Amino acid sequence: MEHKIYTKKEFKKPSLVQKFFGKKPKENALTEINNLLAEKDLRDITLEEIHLIASKYGVNPSVDFEQEILQFYKDYLKSCLEDRFVSEEELKDLKHLKYILEINDKEVAKIHEELAGEIYRKEVERVINDGELDENERIFIEKLQNDLRLPDSIAKKIYQTSGQELIRNFMNNAIADAKLTPEEEQELIKIAKNLNAEVRLDSATKSSLEKYKLYWQIENDEMPELVVDINIPRNEKCYFHTQAIWYEPVKEAQQIIHSSSSLRIKIAKGLYWRNKNEAVKKIDNNWEAIDTGDMYLTNKRILFKGKKGDKIILLNRILDFTVYSNGIDIERETGKNPFLSFERTTDIFAMLLGKAISQLKS
């Protein structure tokens, strides 16, 4: 089946200079090839006819008009793909067109991948939009690939990309509230399994998912319990461990003695301790590094095991805290108020600390 898609065009008139030297506008070579395609049956056109036109105008069409020649092929393929099926006769037409226009295999494959691949991609996205691919849909996709004459490698690549995009969109919607619930996590796994799509996540995305999963757990009273190599009482649970630096203010401010009843930490579920201050705490001459070591958070206290000795802050003696991207300020009933400096997961620490304090008060 031949597609009549080319229409005759007018030739460009030569300029005065071209008339004087008896030259023809080179663009007319392209017009003449177009008109040949419009007038004759495609498979009746010979390579010699194309060469005669090229010689007449002193051009090399595949070089001087590379994009326009490729467009001839692209337009014909578009017409073949309108019914989402490339027949054997259409394949013969395309093969002959490739031959007479002297288009290489690489360019043909690129054009076919672009046009047929786009049709395939749209249909794949449509059928997997619900996160499932049943047997009828699977058969439809396989038939479409065959009808479009799309290579397995290209079809697989398109399918995997579309599946990953769907999973990525679901994931982004799931964590839009900065939480990943167990139901959302299971749905994510289910979609990936149903679509047989690989979930490729970079380290930053994996870290975010783990963080948002932990956010949900903390807010819903599922405090993560760590196994640590320090001796703590049986009724004490460790929630957090990191390397830290203990800073104290150089000048001792006037200390006001408070009672535990004056704790002013505003524990509002999911709000206070997750409002992480993204600013960096500036460590200047007003602060002195007292010690470095391991910092632990338990359900009873903050335990700092430094090189110079241990320090303890009981949770029921903490009045307030301020979170920074590089650590946390602790305001306590008595003694100097330290700044505990550590580089990562200060938001997680703040959530755990706030939750542990709220559980003490409840």
Reduced 3-state DSSP string for 214-257? HHHHHHCCCCCCECCCCCCCCCCCEEEEEEEEEEEECCCCCCCC
State how far the alpha carbon of 77 is from the alpha carbons of 4, 49, 150, 238, in Å: 12, 22, 13, 66
CB atoms closer than 10 angstroms to residue 246: 20
Q: Looking at residue 247, what is its pLDDT?
A: 96
Strand partners, 244: 293
CA dihedral of residues 193, 199, 203, 209 (deg, nearest 10):
-50
Spans in the chain with pLDDT lower than 70: 1-2, 17-18, 20-22, 197-201, 252-278, 361-362
Strand partners, 249: 287
CB atoms closer than 10 angstroms to residue 275: 11
- Residue 57, helix vs strand vs coil: helix
- Per-residue pLDDT tens for 78-97? 999 999 999 999 999 999 99
CB atoms closer than 10 angstroms to residue 301: 19
- Give dist(CA 196, CA 300) in Å, integer: 46
Closest CA relative to residue 165, chosen from 194, 131, 135, 136: 131
The chain-wide mean pLDDT, for the chain, equals 86
Q: Looking at residue 256, what is its pLDDT?
A: 46
Contacts of 166 (CB under 8 A, 6+ apart): 125, 128, 129, 131, 191, 195, 197
pTM value > 0.75:
no
3-state DSSP helix/strand/coil % of the chain, to nearest 5: 50, 15, 35
Per-residue tokens: 312: 């303890």
**Kindly report the CA angle at 145 between 140 and 146, in degrees rounded to 5?**
100
- Give dist(CA 132, CA 302) in Å, integer: 48
Burial of 33 from C-beta contacts in 10 A (0-12 / 13-18 / 19+)? buried
- Residue 150, helix vs strand vs coil: coil
Q: Looking at residue 268, what is its pLDDT?
A: 44
- Residue 323, helix vs strand vs coil: strand
Burial of 159 from C-beta contacts in 10 A (0-12 / 13-18 / 19+)? buried
Per-residue tokens: 152: 């397995």
Q: Looking at residue 37, what is its pLDDT?
A: 95
Alpha carbon 229 to chain centroid, angstroms: 38
* b/e code 178-214 from CB counts within 10 Å (16+ = b): ebbbeebbeebeebbeebebebeeeeeeeebbebbbb
Contacts of 238 (CB under 8 A, 6+ apart): 225, 226, 227, 228, 232, 296, 297, 298
